């Protein structure tokens, strides 16, 4: 005897936000209603209560929000109660409080039969009572909308996943995928290999190279003649101390000053520093030595120069000691005056000589100009008479002009009268003369007047005009002459004045009257006078220069004696003079020369420098030796690091091998289990497939392994002669039929003590024929199974109501914040 799910009581789960109590039919229960009214929530609640999970609600958003507990429920918890009847009656209750962040939060399970079981014990009791594996419950009792939807997709991996879920191998495949981490492991191994390689190359090889270089350096030092026994810090300390002593001795001898030496430490770096300090001391001493040498050299040169100068000046001055400088100064002054006078004289004559040619030229030009203008005036007066005569002529011409103008006026009047008479006669044509009343012929008269009378008058007028013109011209000429005479008289007056002026200037220059002087001889006379004065100047000047030279030489020697003596006094810090001063200076020069020779010696400094240099090489060697030894101390650590890395690498390889072995086994299992399951399912699956009217030609379903690693299944359909991929030939309805067939055969195989089938929207995409075929199949299934179907489809509901005898139908009509409204549907 099996178990029946009698009733389900649920509150605050998924779309259900109030307590609902649904009594289930032992054969068929239909949950019908539009989308979103809570049908699937009821089926999900049953599954959740039995398994603690709702498939398809894992990962993604479901890890961030609680999808189990209803958002509007007052109790803030989900509770599902299932009542089972059968060999024993029991009640299964699962609860979960709302959490803010996840779907898979903590929940409690209790099973009450003859006693109460909690959590794991409740789960184990349920499994024992129903006689079915826990993992088989979801795939054998609950056909989800999503399962059908995934079966209908065109993505092979999703279709394969549907098969795997129905076969119960989906988790094994997911597990196999999850442990496939070869790429990550290989990447880590590669990184470790890189580190090992770098350690070997950069550190260990570096240390070995250090040791090799050290040996090479030692060999070179020995070849240079260094003693092997001296290659230690003790020798370094002794050598530094010896060199210090020598440096101090030199320093004292050269009077350079005491050097300060730091304490000697046996540490190599400290010895190197101390030895370097010695090099600095040597450089410093050498610099001081060079400076002292330079100073001595300068001082010797300065003293010697002063001595030479002093001695020379003293020797020469002996010649001037008896000289009467006062008499010589007086004589020099007198000569100087004479020279000045001669010079003035020469300058004066030279000035006259220079000015004479332009002055005489100006004088002659002025004279010439004056004479020419006077001659010109005389010629005009000769031709036209004097100014009074010219004035009389002008008056006479002007009177003549007046008379001619009066005649011209008279004849012009006559001509006007003739012209008027001609006009009158021409117009009046009179036959009588208006003057003499004689008979006339007007045409002849006009002709005579025009030709004879008018011609005579015109000739007279022309003659008068000509006279007038001639008189004008003559008058113009006389006025011009008058102006010329006036202008010449003014010009002559000016020329005479100029001539007188130039004459005076010339006479002033030559200091005599022109009339009494022969101007042509003057230049030669003056030049002779200059020559004579110059000769006299040279004679006096020679005597003057001789006196001046003597006085200058004496003064120079006195200055030289004074300066060189002062220099020697300054250098020697004494106030003596003469031979005593010279002897003292000579002695000082000899002393300085001896000291200079001491400063010139560099052998000792060079020796110490050589010693310091050799010690530098030894200390460098010792420093390298210490570095090498320090580095070699790292070797065990490095070896340990390498061993650790090798161990890590081995562990990773081991892990890789382990995961590879596990993967191989899980894949093999999946394959074997799938094949076994498919074989078990295939016949049953095809019974259902035929019953729900599968493909008319491809009347058998097959499940094939499409790919081995990772395993990929494919639905195929076969006729007696050929097989085909379902998606290429099947309608979506036929694909749905195939998925239902697999599920129902699975359910039959894993029925256990609970022959329960829940189908969520099983007829999606089906036509009426297939819906009715499914309804008919369900009617036969209810003999062995308790079936719960959720559907939104009216035809499906109607076919089920028609073909199934024992059934209950609930209508879920609407949903709001207060929960779904449920009523019982009746086909009566």
Q: Does the protein bind another protein through residue 312 (CB under 8 A)?
A: no
What does the alpha-carbon distance between residue 381 and residue 350 come to, in Å, rounded to a whole number? 48
| Beta strands at 712-718 and 700-707: parallel, antiparallel or unpaired | antiparallel
Q: How far is the CB of 786 from another protein (least distance, A)?
A: 23
Q: How far is the CB of 169 from another protein (least distance, A)?
A: 9
Q: Does the protein bind another protein through residue 58 (CB under 8 A)?
A: yes
The crossing angle, in degrees rounded to 10, of helices 635-691 and 603-633 is: 30
Torsion angle, alpha carbons of 804, 809, 813, 816, to 10: -130
| Piece in contact with another protein (CB under 8 A), picked from 178-186, 398-406, 469-477, 595-603 | 178-186
Are the beta carbons of 240 and 261 closer than 8 angstroms?
no
Residue 83 pairs in a beta bridge with 7, 91
What does the alpha-carbon distance between residue 595 and residue 408 come to, in Å, rounded to a whole number? 138
The crossing angle, in degrees rounded to 10, of helices 325-384 and 522-572 is: 150
Q: Does the protein bind another protein through residue 668 (CB under 8 A)?
A: yes
What does the alpha-carbon distance between residue 291 and residue 296 come to, in Å, rounded to a whole number? 9
Cβ closest to another protein, residue 560 vs residue 641? 641
Q: Does the protein bind another protein through residue 601 (CB under 8 A)?
A: no
What does the alpha-carbon distance between residue 320 and residue 230 come to, in Å, rounded to a whole number? 78
Are the beta carbons of 137 and 80 closer than 8 angstroms?
no
Q: Does the protein bind another protein through residue 665 (CB under 8 A)?
A: yes
Cis bond before residue 406 (omega within 30° of 0): no
Number of residues that bind another protein (CB under 8 A): 39
Q: Does the protein bind another protein through residue 177 (CB under 8 A)?
A: yes
Candidates 149, 331, 648, 671; binder of another protein (CB under 8 A) is: 648
What does the alpha-carbon distance between residue 306 and residue 560 come to, in Å, rounded to a whole number? 10
What does the alpha-carbon distance between residue 16 and residue 516 come to, in Å, rounded to a whole number? 166
Cβ closest to another protein, residue 203 vs residue 648? 648
Q: How far is the CB of 184 from another protein (least distance, A)?
A: 6
Q: Does the protein bind another protein through residue 181 (CB under 8 A)?
A: yes
Are the beta carbons of 731 and 134 closer than 8 angstroms?
no
| Piece in contact with another protein (CB under 8 A), picked from 165-173, 744-752, 784-792, 810-818 | 165-173
Candidates 494, 556, 669, 697; binder of another protein (CB under 8 A) is: 669
Q: Which among 170, 169, 153 has a CA at the least distance from the CA of 739?
A: 153
Q: Does the protein bind another protein through residue 172 (CB under 8 A)?
A: yes
H/E stretch holding 706 reads strand 700-707
Residue 815 pairs in a beta bridge with 820
What does the alpha-carbon distance between residue 304 and residue 792 come to, in Å, rounded to a whole number? 135
Instruction: Indicate if the alpha-carbon torsion angle 50, 784, 742, 809 is positive or negative.
Output: negative
Q: Does the protein bind another protein through residue 102 (CB under 8 A)?
A: no
| Piece in contact with another protein (CB under 8 A), picked from 129-137, 144-152, 277-285, 696-704 | 129-137
Cβ closest to another protein, residue 404 vs residue 681? 681
Residues 6 or more apart in contact with residue 258 via CB below 8 angstroms: 248, 251, 252
Q: How far is the CB of 161 from another protein (least distance, A)?
A: 13
Candidates 213, 252, 542, 651; binder of another protein (CB under 8 A) is: 651
Q: Does the protein bind another protein through residue 464 (CB under 8 A)?
A: no
Q: How many helices (H) and strands (E) in the chain?
A: 22, 15
H/E stretch holding 365 reads helix 325-384
Q: Does the protein bind another protein through residue 443 (CB under 8 A)?
A: no
Q: Does the protein bind another protein through residue 659 (CB under 8 A)?
A: yes
Cβ closest to another protein, residue 563 vs residue 666? 666
Candidates 280, 483, 644, 709; binder of another protein (CB under 8 A) is: 644
Q: Does the protein bind another protein through residue 709 (CB under 8 A)?
A: no
Candidates 652, 756, 790, 804; binder of another protein (CB under 8 A) is: 652
Q: Does the protein bind another protein through residue 175 (CB under 8 A)?
A: yes
Candidates 475, 574, 673, 749; binder of another protein (CB under 8 A) is: 673
| Piece in contact with another protein (CB under 8 A), picked from 223-231, 308-316, 666-674, 741-749 | 666-674
- Render 603-628 in DSSP notation, one character per residue: HHHHHHHHHHHHHHHHHHHHHHHHHH
Cβ closest to another protein, residue 116 vs residue 665? 665
Cβ closest to another protein, residue 178 vs residue 515? 178
What does the alpha-carbon distance between residue 589 and residue 570 come to, in Å, rounded to a whole number? 14
Q: Does the protein bind another protein through residue 64 (CB under 8 A)?
A: no
Candidates 76, 88, 118, 179; binder of another protein (CB under 8 A) is: 179
Q: Does the protein bind another protein through residue 750 (CB under 8 A)?
A: no
Candidates 168, 694, 755, 820; binder of another protein (CB under 8 A) is: 168
Helices (H), 385-520: 387-428, 442-448, 454-510
Cβ closest to another protein, residue 187 vs residue 447? 187
Q: Provide the strand spans (E) within 86-234.
A: 90-97, 107-112, 116-118, 142-143
Q: Does the protein bind another protein through residue 188 (CB under 8 A)?
A: yes
Candidates 22, 134, 540, 749; binder of another protein (CB under 8 A) is: 134
Which chain residues interact with another protein by CB under 8 A?
A: 51-53, 58-59, 127, 133-135, 168, 171-172, 174-175, 177-179, 181, 184-185, 188, 191-192, 644, 647-648, 651-652, 655, 658-659, 661-662, 665-666, 668-669, 672-673
């Amino acid at each position: 005897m099996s178990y029946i799910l009698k009733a389900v009581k649920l509150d605050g789960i998924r779309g259900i936000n109030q307590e609902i109590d649904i009594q289930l039919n032992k054969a068929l229960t239909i949950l019908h209603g539009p989308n979103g009214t809570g049908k699937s929530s009821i089926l999900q609640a049953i599954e959740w209560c039995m398994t603690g999970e709702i498939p398809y609600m894992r990962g993604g958003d479901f890890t961030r929000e609680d999808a189990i507990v209803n958002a509007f429920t007052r109790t803030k918890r989900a509770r599902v109660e299932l009542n089972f009847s059968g060999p024993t009656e029991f009640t299964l209750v699962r609860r979960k409080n709302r959490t803010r962040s996840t779907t898979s939060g903590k929940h409690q399970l209790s099973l009450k039969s003859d006693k109460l079981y909690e959590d794991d014990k409740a789960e184990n009791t349920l499994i024992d009572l129903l006689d079915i594996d826990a993992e088989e419950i979801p795939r054998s009792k609950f056909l989800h909308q999503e399962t059908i939807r995934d079966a209908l997709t065109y993505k092979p991996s999703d279709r394969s996943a549907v098969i795997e879920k129905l076969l119960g191998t989906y988790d094994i495949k997911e597990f196999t995928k999850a442990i496939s981490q070869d790429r990550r492991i290989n990447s880590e191994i590669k990184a470790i290999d890189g580190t090992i390689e770098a350690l070997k190359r950069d550190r260990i090889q570096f240390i070995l190279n250090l040791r090799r270089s050290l040996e090479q350096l030692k060999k070179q030092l020995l070849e240079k003649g260094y003693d092997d026994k001296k290659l230690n810090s003790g020798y370094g300390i002794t050598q530094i101390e010896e060199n210090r002593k020598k440096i101090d001795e030199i320093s004292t001898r050269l009077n350079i000053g005491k050097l300060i030496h730091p304490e000697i430490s046996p540490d190599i770096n400290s010895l190197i520093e101390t030895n370097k300090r010695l090099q600095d001391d040597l450089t410093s001493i050498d610099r001081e030595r060079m400076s002292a040498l330079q100073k001595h050299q300068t001082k010797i040169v300065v003293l010697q120069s002063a001595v030479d100068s002093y001695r020379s000046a003293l020797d020469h001055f002996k010649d001037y000691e008896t000289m009467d400088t006062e008499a010589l100064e007086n004589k020099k002054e007198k000569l100087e005056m004479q020279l000045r006078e001669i010079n003035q004289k020469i300058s004066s004559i030279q000035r006259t000589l220079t000015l004479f040619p332009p002055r005489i030229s100006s004088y002659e030009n002025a004279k010439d100009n004056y004479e020419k203008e006077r001659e010109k005036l005389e010629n005009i007066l000769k031709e036209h008479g004097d100014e009074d005569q010219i004035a009389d002529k002008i008056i006479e011409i002007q009177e003549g002009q007046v008379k001619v103008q009066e005649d011209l006026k008279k004849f012009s009047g006559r001509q006007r009268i003739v012209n008027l008479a001609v006009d009158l006669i021409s117009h009046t044509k009179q036959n009588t003369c208006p003057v003499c009343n004689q008979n006339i012929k007007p045409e002849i008269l006009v002709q005579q007047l025009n030709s004879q009378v008018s011609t005579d008058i015109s000739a007279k007028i022309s003659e008068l005009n000509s006279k007038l013109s001639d008189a004008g011209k003559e008058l113009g000429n006389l006025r011009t002459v008058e102006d010329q005479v006036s202008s010449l008289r003014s010009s002559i007056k000016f020329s005479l004045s100029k001539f007188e002026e130039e004459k005076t200037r010339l006479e002033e220059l030559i200091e005599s009257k022109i009339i009494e002087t022969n101007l042509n001889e003057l230049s030669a006379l003056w030049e002779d006078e200059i020559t004579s004065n110059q000769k006299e100047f040279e004679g006096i000047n020679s005597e003057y220069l001789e006196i001046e030279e003597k006085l200058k030489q004496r003064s120079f020697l006195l200055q030289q004696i004074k300066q060189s003596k002062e220099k020697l006094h300054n250098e020697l810090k004494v106030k003596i003079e003469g031979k005593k001063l010279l002897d003292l200076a000579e002695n000082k020069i000899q002393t300085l020369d001896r000291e200079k020779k001491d400063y010139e010696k560099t052998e000792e400094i060079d020796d110490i420098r050589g010693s310091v240099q050799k010690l530098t090489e030894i200390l460098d060697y010792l420093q390298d030796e210490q570095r090498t030894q320090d580095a070699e101390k790292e070797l065990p650590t490095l070896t340990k690091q390498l061993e650790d890395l090798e161990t890590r690498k081995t562990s990773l390889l081991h892990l890789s091998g382990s995961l590879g072995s596990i993967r191989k086994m899980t894949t093999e299992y999946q394959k074997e289990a799938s094949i076994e399951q498919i074989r078990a399912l295939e016949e049953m699956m095809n019974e259902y497939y035929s019953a729900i009217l599968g493909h008319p030609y491809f009347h058998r379903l097959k499940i094939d392994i499409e790919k081995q690693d990772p395993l990929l299944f494919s639905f195929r359909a076969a006729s007696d002669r050929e097989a085909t991929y379902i998606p290429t030939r099947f309608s979506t309805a036929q694909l749905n039929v195939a998925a239902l067939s697999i599920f129902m055969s699975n359910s039959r195989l894993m029925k256990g003590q609970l022959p329960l089938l829940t189908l969520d929207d099983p007829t999606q995409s089906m036509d009426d024929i297939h819906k009715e075929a499914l309804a008919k199949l369900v009617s036969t299934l209810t003999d062995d199974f308790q079936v719960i179907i959720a559907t939104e489809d009216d035809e499906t509901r109607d076919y089920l109501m028609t073909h199934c005898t024992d059934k209950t139908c609930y209508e879920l009509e609407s949903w709001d914040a207060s929960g779904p409204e449920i009523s019982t549907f009746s086909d009566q």
